[in-house]
Amino acid sequence: MPEGDSVLQLSDRMQWMTGRTVTRSDIRVPRFATEDLTGRQAVRVWPYGKHLFMDFGGRILHTHLKMEGVWSVHAAGSRWRRPGHTARVVLRLSPQHAGGAEIETVGHSLGFVRLFDRDDYDQVVGHLGPDILASDWENAVFGRDEALGRILARPDRSIGAALLDQRNVAGIGNEYRAEICFLGGVDPRHPVGSGPEAEATAAHLLDLSRKVMWENRREPRRLFTGDRRPGMGNYVFGRAAKPCRRCGTAIHKGFLGGVDAGGDDGELERVIWWCPVCQA
């Protein structure tokens, strides 16, 4: 699933939209099928955690890629690179210059689509924690310290589940969760805990998350090990039973979250990987 760095990259790629006017729109989800953005100007495109927002003159399009979502961009009228039945949003925008060609962008297999008024934005994102990739993450009132406080507020919860909870901090997904816990030498199944040591550990993991994700925000492929060769970029994620790149011990695989595992109601059980030696 795309994580905060992927959505930031996507937002950067979609900045061409700003200043252009929608000449045709087709929202292919039942609830918003009658919505028409034609004639509205794209005034802003931005990410928040794993979410992408586009402001069309006060009407905001909110999408989430989930597992398979992708946005494609091409000249209007050209053949789509993905099947038409996967399209959830179709937007055609005016040329940048007189005599230029219209551009079409299509959101395929999007996991979530909705439209709302600009005035409702704060309410829409109100359930999310601070954005790990926000430019003011370090110093904002609603930034690093807020995220740390939310994690520490539930000392009995596993640190792995706490990092993945978007209500604590927005943008960290399963791959980062696994790799950051390895880099921090922390077993993701261990409880957050309380006291100075627990606070220092949680703060260190948050700082690592920000640092590594920020460094990866321009990379075509996520990199945690420093080795750019195919298949060598991860320490533990997706490497069950393979030798740890540091100590040689077989990587373990388990599950975190889900009500049966002590998680919150509605929380999905997610796979987790760790080294039983390096993260003891």
Q: Which residues are catalytic?
A: 2-3, 50, 270
- 3-state helix, strand, coil split of the chain in percent (to 5) is 25, 25, 50
Residues paired with 64 in a beta bridge: 51, 112
Q: Is the dihedral of CA 26, 29, 32, 33 positive or negative?
A: positive
CB atoms within 10 A of CB 19: 12
SS3 128: coil
Give the count of beta carbons closer than 10 Å to the beta carbon of residue 70.
15
Query: Cα–Cα–Cα angle for 8, 9, 12, nearest 5°?
Result: 90
Q: Which residue has the tokens 């999310």?
A: 128
Q: How far apart are CA 52 and CA 9, in angstroms?
A: 11
Which ranges in 120-217 belong to alpha helices (H)? 121-124, 144-152, 159-164, 174-183, 196-216
E strands, 5-48, are 22-27, 42-48
Q: Closest Cα to residue 181, out of 268, 251, 89?
A: 251
Residue 165's nearest CA partner among 279, 236, 254, 265 is 265
Cβ 47 vs Cβ 8: under 8 Å: yes
**179 in Cβ contact with 212 (< 8 Å):** yes
